[in-house]
């Protein structure tokens, strides 16, 4: 609320000092809604991300071999957060340095609003990467996984999907406020490229460590099943070699059972999500490209 009040105050001072919201360059009245919208979006979506993160970590608690790593996952790294905020602020200065603006109050408003927006964006990126690193650390510490009961792992996949969709939603929101001219700048290409890469990276890295753990569990299960299958098959062959086929009916059943179970283990999924989650993520990634293409098409038609 304090941030919103201060930015609103700066905007009113800029409007009064210039006799209205008129600015030079590509920054019009509509585009001035970008920064406040993204700021409100980030601050509003954070509680949802925190809730999904808590569910993901709680899902690992009964599975982890090292409970202390689960507790450490909740520790906040203030130093890292301040570094992220500083990088975002520095990035905002680079962005706004090339803008041609009229009026000192307008310049101050845009600089301040962009510093807040890009600082929060940098913090969101850092937070997502840091939480993913902590998640991987818990998984590497050892998990007691049941290959055929992956229901407990669903919150982890949902958290990764939520983080990715958060960035996709931010991209779509910002594209709505962009103009044809601003979308062709180097700054815009850099920003949107970073956001798309980050959204995909956060999703797949958040579930990759769980995938590795499930693969390891599958290999352990296969080794056990194969050992019993070999022993049962060896016993069956020995009895057959002794010329006693009438007494091997009970030895044949374990061979069939272990072979069938081995096939089930091989067919078991080693990903903590179902295909529906991936389809939803891929479908959501189409939205930014559609909005971008629509903006470009409207800009081209408008310039002709």
Of residues 97 and 155, more confidently modeled: 155
Q: Find the distance separating the first CA and the last CA of the chain, reported in whole Å.
A: 44
Asked whether residue 163 carries a pLDDT value surpassing 90, the answer given is no
Instruction: Tell me how crowded residue 203 is: count the other CB atoms within 10 A of its CB.
Output: 27
pLDDT at 243: 64
Q: How remote is the C-alpha of 252 from its chain's centroid?
A: 49
Q: Report the percentage of the chain scoring pLDDT > 90.
A: 3
Q: For residue 115, give the nearest of 90, 97, 150, 137 by alpha carbon.
A: 90
Q: Which DSSP state fits 64?
A: B
Token pair recorded at residue 275: 């295909």
Instruction: Tell me how crowded residue 221 is: count the other CB atoms within 10 A of its CB.
Output: 20
pLDDT at 25: 42
CA angle 215/219/224 to nearest 5° reads 150
CA distance 95 to 93: 5
CA distance 137 to 139: 5
pLDDT at 84: 92
3-class DSSP state of 28: coil
Q: Report the percentage of the chain scoring pLDDT > 70.
A: 78
Asked whether residue 270 carries a pLDDT value surpassing 60, the answer given is yes
3-class DSSP state of 27: coil
Q: How remote is the C-alpha of 149 from its chain's centroid?
A: 24
Instruction: Tell me how crowded residue 252 is: count the other CB atoms within 10 A of its CB.
Output: 14
Q: What is the number of domains present in the chain?
A: 1
Instruction: Tell me how crowded residue 50 is: count the other CB atoms within 10 A of its CB.
Output: 12
Local confidence band at 301 (pLDDT 50, 70, 90 cut-offs): low
Asked if 5 contacts 103 with a C-beta cutoff of 8 angstroms, the reply is no
DSSP string, 68-136: HHHHHTT---HHHHHHHHHHHHHHHHHHHTT----SHHHHHHHHHHHHHHHHHHHHHHHHHHHHHHHHH
Asked if 233 contacts 255 with a C-beta cutoff of 8 angstroms, the reply is yes
Q: For residue 120, give the nearest of 44, 205, 56 by alpha carbon.
A: 44
pLDDT tens per residue across span 31-65: 677 788 888 888 888 888 888 888 888 888 888 88
Which range, of 33-37, 68-72, 86-90, 272-276, averages the lowest pLDDT? 272-276
pLDDT tens per residue across span 203-238: 777 778 888 888 888 888 889 888 888 888 887 777
Whole domain around residue 99: which residue ranges?
Answer: 2-303
CA distance 225 to 181: 63
> What's the half-sphere exposure (Cβ side, CA atoms, 13 Å) at 273?
22
Long-range CB contacts for residues 189-194, cutoff 8 Å, separation at least 24: 191/95, 192/288, 192/292, 194/125
Asked if 162 contacts 52 with a C-beta cutoff of 8 angstroms, the reply is yes
Q: For residue 222, give the nearest of 185, 184, 259 by alpha carbon.
A: 259
Of residues 84 and 168, more confidently modeled: 84
């Amino acid at each position: 609320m304090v941030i919103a009040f201060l930015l609103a105050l700066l905007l009113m001072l800029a409007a009064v000092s210039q006799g209205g919201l008129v600015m030079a360059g590509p920054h019009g009245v509509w585009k001035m809604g970008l920064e406040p919208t993204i700021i409100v979006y980030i601050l509003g979506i954070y509680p949802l991300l925190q809730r999904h993160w808590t569910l993901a970590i709680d899902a690992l608690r009964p599975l982890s071999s090292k409970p202390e790593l689960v507790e450490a996952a909740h520790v906040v790294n203030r130093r890292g957060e301040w570094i992220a905020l500083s990088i975002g602020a520095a990035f905002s200065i680079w962005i706004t340095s090339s803008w041609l603006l009229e009026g000192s109050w307008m310049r101050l408003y845009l600089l301040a609003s962009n510093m807040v927006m890009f600082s929060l964006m940098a913090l969101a990126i850092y937070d997502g990467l840091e939480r993913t690193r902590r998640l991987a650390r818990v998984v590497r510490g050892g998990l007691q996984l049941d290959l055929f009961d992956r229901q407990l792992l669903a919150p982890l996949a949902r958290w990764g999907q939520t983080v990715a969709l958060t960035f996709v939603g931010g991209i779509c929101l910002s594209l709505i406020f962009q103009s044809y001219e601003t979308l062709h700048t180097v700054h815009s290409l850099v920003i949107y490229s970073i956001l798309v890469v980050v959204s995909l990276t956060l999703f797949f890295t958040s579930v990759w460590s769980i995938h590795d753990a499930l693969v390891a569990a599958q290999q352990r299960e296969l080794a056990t099943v194969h050992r019993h299958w070999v022993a049962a098959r060896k016993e069956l062959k020995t009895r057959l070699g002794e010329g006693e086929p009438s007494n091997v009916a009970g030895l044949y059943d374990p061979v069939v059972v272990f072979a069938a179970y081995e096939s089930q283990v091989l067919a078991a999924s080693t990903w903590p999500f179902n295909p529906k989650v991936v389809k939803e993520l891929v479908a959501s990634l189409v939205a930014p490209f559609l909005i971008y293409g629509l903006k470009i098409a409207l800009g081209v038609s408008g310039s002709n």
